[in-house]
A and B are shown apart, each in its own frame.
Chain A
Amino acid sequence: MQWETVIGLEIHAQLSTQSKIFSASATTFGAEPNTQASLVDLGMPGTLPVLNAEAVRMACQFGLAIDAEIAERNIFARKNYFYPDLPKGYQTSQMDHPIVGKGFLDIALEDGTVKRIGITRAHLEEDAGKSLHEDFQGMSGIDLNRAGTPLLEIVSEPDIRSAKEAVAYVKAIHALVRYLGICDGNMAEGSLRCDCNVSVRPKGQAEFGTRAEIKNVNSFRFIEKAINHEVQRQIELIEDGGKVVQETRLYDPNKDQTRSMRSKEEANDYRYFPCPDLLPVVIERSFLDELRAALPELPPQKRERFENQYALSAYDASVLSASRELADYFEVVAKTCGDAKLAANWVMGELSSLLNKDNLEIDQSPVSAEQLGGMILRIKDNTISGKIAKMVFEALAAGEGATADEVIEKKGLKQVTDSGAIEKMLDEVLAANAEQVEQYRASDEAKRGKMFGFFVGQAMKASKGKANPGQVNELLKKKLEG
């Protein structure tokens, strides 16, 4: 049977406010346990929450960026459950009246198509603390530094049809929140976490299958693996005559499998009700107008502009607009060298594999955009060939010169274009390969084509790659046909 996968994602993005959502404590990651927990964060009796206006502003920016409805009033609600790292016994969240309503995000897929993913809602809530189960000899430690960190929970429609699409969507959200400057996107530190709702159904069936929720997946790679694994598990289960049960599952990256955490029956009744300690939040039109006017160019617009302005494919444009830093880098390279296509190839090719190899971010690149642009300029004006350029690039990365010109000069990599010198070199090559020359001349046209490459290779080798390839071709032909 043909199966279709249906995926909806809930992404928790930690908002990069200075202080917590309901208290004045700092939100810095990695501080000594409980040093960033105020009376409010500790859930001390008698303490009360005061909403951080910055968190509201950030949520509104997100709402505007996904073209969402932003209601005039939104309301905080309490989600009640007991857990040691939830100090008040409830999480202050939003239920019936979230700050951000229906919106959407267009994502570019690898095949070049663009898909629209619906966003059901996004709401503000506070993060919980952390339970530490090691180092306490049979007891658990509680660190409340994270308690009260503002989160924006972004809930997608079940519009996603594969693990790859899911990753593309999360990457798009990741890019968006970083463009907006509302979340640092650091998934390793938990700044962006993802719950994946996964179900399968026979292709063509209208109603959804029963879904399982995979909690807290925190890397792009794990999202893809966890979903693929879960899809496989569900298909096998159904094909073996079983039934998918609605439950919450955990993904174990070490074993590459998901396992059940709790079933629907065991799920808490959270007894949501409006938080009486907080007033409804009223968002004024003028406030939204000001925010809208100040929005930066966002990934979808940037991608579109890259397609139009630089004649890039949708996929290349979306890769290059994935982060503001990468997009800026690319644009500087393109401007410096005046050839967007070459710039895109170099940024997505050599540069990106260099960064991947050393696990670097674009803003840590050892080769600056100006250096790369300057180097591409020398390819274009025939100072160096593409092959030599790779050497120049490596030298720049290794800090062996401030500019491509300096490297070319120092290493003597300048292309030889003096036809006298090239002819002399070719004569030597042909003399050294007299036998092949004989064979060539005796061969027919078809065979000659193949053999020609051999002479080019020998010639480039003899010139250490510096001879201008066009000239080599032209002169070689002349001499062989002689």
Chain B
Amino acid sequence: MHQLTLAEIAQGLAAKQFSAEELSRSLLARIAQLDPQLNSFITVTEDLAIEQAKAADARRAAGENSPLLGAPIAHKDLFCTNGVLTSCGSKILTGFKAPYDATVVEKLGAAGTVTLGKLNMDEFAMGSANESSHYGPVKNPWDTSRVPGGSSGGSAAAVAARLLPAATGTDTGGSIRQPAALTNLTGIKPTYGRVSRWGMIAYASSLDQGGPLARTAEDCALLLGAMAGFDAKDSTSVDQPVDDYLAALAQPLAGLRIGLPKEYFGAGLDARIGEKVMAVVEELKKLGATVKDISLPNMQHAIPAYYVIAPAEASSNLSRFDGVRFGYRCENPKDLQDLYKRSREEGFGAEVKRRIMVGTYALSAGYYDAYYIKAQQIRRLIKNDFVAAFKEVDVILGPTTPNLAWKLGEKNADPVSAYLEDIYTITANLAGIPGLSMPAGFVDGLPVGVQLLGNYFQEGRLLNVAHQYQQVSDWHKQVPSGF
């Protein structure tokens, strides 16, 4: 049962082959059995899951038959869930039970999904390896000595290991796509403003977007369709109807114009990954796509710009974690300053502190113009590059990551080398366009991801291309041994 995709589960539940409760119990048992090897869950909400599964079964018995009714999922632990610990992978949110549900949680709940738990992540979504979590690192099911990517590493590992058919994640600089690539999943970061950020604890507000990770493009379409939509509680969400992503899947690829940016295939890319990506391109050509070489000249500036903007916003977003109202507070504070300093010093991990300091510096009087304003100008140039490119092509294709999953601890001493792993993904966040990663094969038994970038609100097109490719490939069907 754990091998079923969301689409297959929908069929099974509709055909009464099993109940939502049976399915959830089976997966909960599997989580209990296997997750100790991976550490992908921070909280397993067993009682809540059974209760929701029973409710889903009751709704189905009453005649409802929506595709996500009874579908088991889990949420990255930065989506607030009423009454359940929401930790952001941080000590500073120790004991924090959000008094409300995030819009994504609420919408998926209304669609009938069953929440099995809350998934591990890099602390405050800052990281590309899921090693910065206060709850310990997550391991890659394809090789448990390696990282699963981050920051949605728990989501990726759990879905790849078949503990779950799908999970929510968030993507600020690649945090859905990069772990999807490193664990052989399909994951999509929607257009900025497509999915509500209400209840999604902010890392960098102008870059953060929620999205699904699953084993197929079809499942991503199912889940994203339920997550997306305008939300009056999020001023940056866009009031535009949500496309029918499932309906878009079937569109033939004949006439699809694919752009290959030369900057995605230059120095720094593992040549073996490059080969896998080009093999995907060949398959897509067979399906009727045409290919054009393009250039995104400002991509080289993306990482510096990102590592100014994201920490700047983070330094302000994380100010509310001050030990005053919720979460961790230091013991016996002497006075107010001591309360602030020690609560934050003891409550935040090293990477979070590093980014708060970088961001604080970038916003300081005398540096603001040189760093923050300059970074925003670069951001505009990057956006312009994409706007120009999408006049000529429908999707942009390239590798999701320059390297395969690395060994746990390998990049800890050199944060910048980890930052460089985001080189292909962060431009989509800076520009606000949608991006998808899908399986493209294996190198040395480790998954390779290919990334598709689309114009604003072209999620349907990206899912369509991925789905069509998955009809003629079976990379996404590979199962890590032991799972």
Residues from chain A with Cβ under 8 Å of B319 in the complex: 80, 82, 88-90
**CB pair A90 B325 closer than 8 Å:** no
Can you list 21 A-B contacts (CB < 8 A)?
A39-B99, A44-B100, A45-B201, A45-B202, A45-B320, A45-B321, A46-B86, A46-B198, A47-B198, A48-B236, A80-B319, A84-B336, A89-B319, A269-B364, A271-B315, A271-B316, A271-B360, A271-B368, A276-B205, A276-B206, A277-B235
A273 at the interface (CB under 8 A from B): yes
A87-B325, A271-B363, A277-B205 known; A80-B316 Cβ under 8 A: yes
Residues from chain A with Cβ under 8 Å of B100 in the complex: 39, 44
B256 at the interface (CB under 8 A from A): no
**CB pair A278 B235 closer than 8 Å:** yes
A291 at the interface (CB under 8 A from B): no
A78 at the interface (CB under 8 A from B): yes
Residues from chain B with Cβ under 8 Å of A88 in the complex: 319-320
Minimum C-beta distance from A190 to chain B (A): 22
**CB pair A46 B320 closer than 8 Å:** no
Q: Which of chain A's residues 35-55 have a Cβ closer than 8 Å to chain B?
A: 39, 42-51
With the chains together, A87 CA to B86 CA distance in Å? Answer: 19
A142 at the interface (CB under 8 A from B): yes
**CB pair A273 B363 closer than 8 Å:** yes
Minimum C-beta distance from A81 to chain B (A): 9
A90-B319, A271-B360 known; A48-B98 Cβ under 8 A: no
With the chains together, A82 CA to B360 CA distance in Å? Answer: 13
Minimum C-beta distance from A175 to chain B (A): 34
**Beta-carbon contacts of A265-276 to B below 8 Å, as 1s and 0s?**
000010111001
A84-B336, A88-B320, A142-B324 known; A46-B235 Cβ under 8 A: no
B299 at the interface (CB under 8 A from A): no
Cross-interface CB contact of A43 among B96, B102, B315, B325, cutoff 8 Å: B325
Cross-interface CB contact of B93 among A45, A78, A272, cutoff 8 Å: A45
B348 at the interface (CB under 8 A from A): no
Minimum C-beta distance from B85 to chain A (A): 12
Q: Residues of A with Cβ closer than 8 Å to B?
A: 39, 42-51, 78, 80, 82, 84, 87-90, 142, 269, 271-273, 276-279
B421 at the interface (CB under 8 A from A): no
A46-B202, A276-B205, A276-B206 known; A89-B316 Cβ under 8 A: yes
Residues from chain B with Cβ under 8 Å of A82 in the complex: 319, 322, 340
Chain B interface bracket (under 10, 10 to 19, 20 to 34, 35 or more) = 35 or more
With the chains together, A273 CA to B316 CA distance in Å? Answer: 9
**CB pair B320 A269 closer than 8 Å:** no
A46-B198, A46-B200 known; A269-B316 Cβ under 8 A: no
With the chains together, A44 CA to B324 CA distance in Å? Answer: 12
Question: Which residue in chain A gives the minimum CB-CB distance to B319?
Answer: A89
**CB pair B368 A273 closer than 8 Å:** yes
Residues from chain A with Cβ under 8 Å of B96 in the complex: 45
Residues from chain A with Cβ under 8 Å of B313 in the complex: 273, 276
With the chains together, A360 CA to B265 CA distance in Å? Answer: 80
Question: Which residue in chain A gives the minimum CB-CB distance to B336?
Answer: A84
**CB pair B312 A273 closer than 8 Å:** yes
With the chains together, A273 CA to B318 CA distance in Å? Answer: 15
Main secondary structure of the interface of B (DSSP, over half): loop
**Beta-carbon contacts of B311-339 to A below 8 Å, as 1s and 0s?**
01101101111101110000000001000
**Beta-carbon contacts of B53-90 to A below 8 Å, as 1s and 0s?**
00000000000000000000000001110000010100
**CB pair B322 A46 closer than 8 Å:** no
Question: Which residue in chain A gives the minimum CB-CB distance to B327?
Answer: A45
B370 at the interface (CB under 8 A from A): no
Minimum C-beta distance from A392 to chain B (A): 61
With the chains together, A322 CA to B316 CA distance in Å? Answer: 43
B162 at the interface (CB under 8 A from A): no
**CB pair A50 B235 closer than 8 Å:** yes
Main secondary structure of the interface of A (DSSP, over half): loop
With the chains together, A278 CA to B204 CA distance in Å? Answer: 13
Minimum C-beta distance from B322 to chain A (A): 6
Residues from chain A with Cβ under 8 Å of B365 in the complex: 269, 271
B387 at the interface (CB under 8 A from A): no
**CB pair A78 B316 closer than 8 Å:** yes
**CB pair A277 B236 closer than 8 Å:** yes
A50-B235, A279-B236 known; A45-B312 Cβ under 8 A: no
**CB pair A46 B199 closer than 8 Å:** yes
Minimum C-beta distance from A258 to chain B (A): 24
Cross-interface CB contact of B363 among A51, A80, A84, A276, cutoff 8 Å: A80
**CB pair A49 B235 closer than 8 Å:** yes
Cross-interface CB contact of A46 among B80, B312, B315, B318, cutoff 8 Å: B80
Cross-interface CB contact of B98 among A43, A45, A51, A276, cutoff 8 Å: A45
Residues from chain B with Cβ under 8 Å of A50 in the complex: 232-233, 235
**CB pair A89 B235 closer than 8 Å:** no
**CB pair B235 A48 closer than 8 Å:** yes
With the chains together, A46 CA to B233 CA distance in Å? Answer: 11
A39-B99, A48-B233, A50-B233 known; A273-B322 Cβ under 8 A: no
Minimum C-beta distance from B437 to chain A (A): 25
Cross-interface CB contact of A44 among B99, B233, B336, B363, cutoff 8 Å: B99
Question: Which residue in chain B gives the minimum CB-CB distance to A88?
Answer: B320
Cross-interface CB contact of B372 among A46, A87, A273, A277, cutoff 8 Å: A273
With the chains together, A5 CA to B436 CA distance in Å? Answer: 65
Minimum C-beta distance from A163 to chain B (A): 33
| 4 A-B pairs with least C-beta separation | A89-B319, A271-B363, A276-B205, A276-B206
B118 at the interface (CB under 8 A from A): no
Of A39, A45, A48, most B-chain CB atoms within 10 Å: A45
Residues from chain B with Cβ under 8 Å of A46 in the complex: 78-80, 86, 98, 102, 197-202
Residues from chain B with Cβ under 8 Å of A45 in the complex: 80, 86, 88, 93, 96, 98, 201-202, 320-321, 326
Minimum C-beta distance from B356 to chain A (A): 11
B234 at the interface (CB under 8 A from A): yes
Residues from chain B with Cβ under 8 Å of A42 in the complex: 325
With the chains together, A44 CA to B327 CA distance in Å? Answer: 11
Residues from chain A with Cβ under 8 Å of B325 in the complex: 42-43, 87, 142
With A142-B325, A279-B236 given, name 12 new contacts (CB 8 A): A44-B99, A45-B96, A46-B79, A50-B233, A82-B322, A84-B324, A87-B325, A89-B319, A90-B319, A276-B206, A277-B205, A277-B235
Residues from chain A with Cβ under 8 Å of B232 in the complex: 50
**CB pair A48 B340 closer than 8 Å:** no
**Beta-carbon contacts of B193-236 to A below 8 Å, as 1s and 0s?**
00001111110111000000000000000000000000011111
Minimum C-beta distance from A322 to chain B (A): 39
Residues from chain A with Cβ under 8 Å of B206 in the complex: 276
Residues from chain B with Cβ under 8 Å of A89 in the complex: 316, 318-320, 322
With the chains together, A48 CA to B313 CA distance in Å? Answer: 14
Question: Which residue in chain B gives the minimum CB-CB distance to A84?
Answer: B324
**CB pair A48 B80 closer than 8 Å:** no
Residues from chain B with Cβ under 8 Å of A271 in the complex: 315-316, 360, 363-365, 368
Minimum C-beta distance from A143 to chain B (A): 13
Residues from chain A with Cβ under 8 Å of B79 in the complex: 46
Residues from chain A with Cβ under 8 Å of B321 in the complex: 45
With the chains together, A51 CA to B236 CA distance in Å? Answer: 11
With the chains together, A279 CA to B286 CA distance in Å? Answer: 44
With the chains together, A90 CA to B96 CA distance in Å? Answer: 21
With the chains together, A309 CA to B200 CA distance in Å? Answer: 62
Residues from chain A with Cβ under 8 Å of B360 in the complex: 271
Question: Which residue in chain A gives the minimum CB-CB distance to B359?
Answer: A271
**CB pair B324 A48 closer than 8 Å:** no
Question: Which residue in chain B gives the minimum CB-CB distance to A24?
Answer: B233
Minimum C-beta distance from B108 to chain A (A): 16
Question: Which residue in chain B gives the minimum CB-CB distance to A83?
Answer: B336
Residues from chain A with Cβ under 8 Å of B88 in the complex: 45
**Beta-carbon contacts of B180-201 to A below 8 Å, as 1s and 0s?**
0000000000000000011111
Minimum C-beta distance from A133 to chain B (A): 11
Of B205, B235, B360, most A-chain CB atoms within 10 Å: B235
With the chains together, A44 CA to B86 CA distance in Å? Answer: 12
Residues from chain A with Cβ under 8 Å of B202 in the complex: 45-46, 277
